Amino acid sequence: MNVRVSARRAIEALRAGVPNRDAVSALGCSAHEVLGVFDARLAELRGSVSGGRRPRGMLVAADFGGGKSHVLEYLSHKARQENFAVSKVVISKETQLFDPLKVFRAAVDSLVCENVVGDALRDIAVSRLSTQSPRFAALSLWLQGSDLNSRFAATTWLFEQAGADTDMQDELIGFWEGGAMQVGRLREGLRQTGDAKRFALEKIAIKDLARQRFTFMARLLCAAGYDGWVILLDELELMGRYTVLQRGRAYAELARLLGLADDHAVPGLLAVGAVTPDYASAVIDEKDDRNQIGFRFRLRGDPESVLTASLAELAMDAVDQELLRLREPSQDDLEEVLATLAVIYATAYDCVPATLDASLKTGRQMREYVRSWITTWDLNRVAPAYEPEIEVQHIADDYAEDALLEKPVEDDEPGDQAAAP
């Protein structure tokens, strides 16, 4: 890529406060503790499918503007360079953490791999997933003896048999992406191969199927030649705005993704979450989540609710005790970033940016320094003699409950809570 274009892309991303690959490549990452733990977890992830190990996820914490998104983008870049598939899921009104199907679809939609452009999963399935490879044979063999719903074994079998049938191939990939595929269509495809009764295609609840999709996808990506799947979860603090029961469900799904319970962890998958550092005190403690959630779900008495309570408690403990907190920038950090940023800006706009003050100011986040420096240089390009005064307004975290965050979005499929057909 043209050096000037890359530099301008980096500046535009930093100006907007949304770091991209160009920005993190140029500025790097000073969160050495996080990088050390991440390297160790990637090493565990690399052999987790063949060895049956389940790498434990990570939780990164910083205040708004403190560099969480920058670190996640850097981790994404690093993982892709080391032959891992990566997804970044931003928890939002459209992607609620308590809904595993929406989280899975968001993860597949955002899937990125080194040297893959566009729809990553389709490219991988069509171009990189060799049905004649030992890895694919190992996947098929594992599916036969696994506890996953037989839809997964049936779709991989049909994919292997599909050959030049691109319509069937597209339908199967659509199912892998999180879409629905009717049992009748699967049986029709199996009849065409002469194996109509090869798979039971038993019924399963949509949410249970969604949870199994993560296990299947991790194995599928490994069959395609990747060393594992990394899912980066940003803005986890939005959980604090759910009502209490949905918070409990969200915690339980987080525990599954982070692999906090061995029976529900996913070999081949490593999740890294980002959350605000005051979440435990402002939500878990202030809203009495440990007592409220455990009591309410266990009171129901059914096995699913009891399990939800137990998993939720594991997630709350992790948020309270296992955060890797990003440190505030030091004077040396500021001077180094300012010098690097000045070079990037000069390359982007073919100018000599003014020398600015890099003095450390109490309570200010790195993003606030970076955006103020870029804004000053932008104004100086128009009026070189102008000396702007940049005001910084801190944004407070809002943990007020909002039931609107729990309502289905307009394009939700009807019957999402029903048994899968």
CA angle at 27 for the pair 23 and 29, rounded to the nearest 5°: 110
User: Residues 364-409: pLDDT tens digits?
Assistant: 778 888 888 898 998 888 887 777 776 666 666 677 787 777 766 5
Report pLDDT for 65.
66
Can you read off the two tokens belonging to residue 72?
């996640």
Report pLDDT for 408.
66
Report pLDDT for 412.
45
For the chain, domain boundaries: 1-25+332-395, 32-113+226-326, 127-208
Report pLDDT for 237.
95
Report pLDDT for 1.
53
Q: Which residue numbers in the chain have pLDDT < 70?
A: 1, 65, 163-164, 196, 390-397, 407-421
Report pLDDT for 52.
73
CATH class of 32-113+226-326: alpha beta
Report pLDDT for 291.
94
User: Residues 279-308: pLDDT tens digits?
Assistant: 999 999 999 999 999 999 999 999 999 999
Report pLDDT for 411.
43
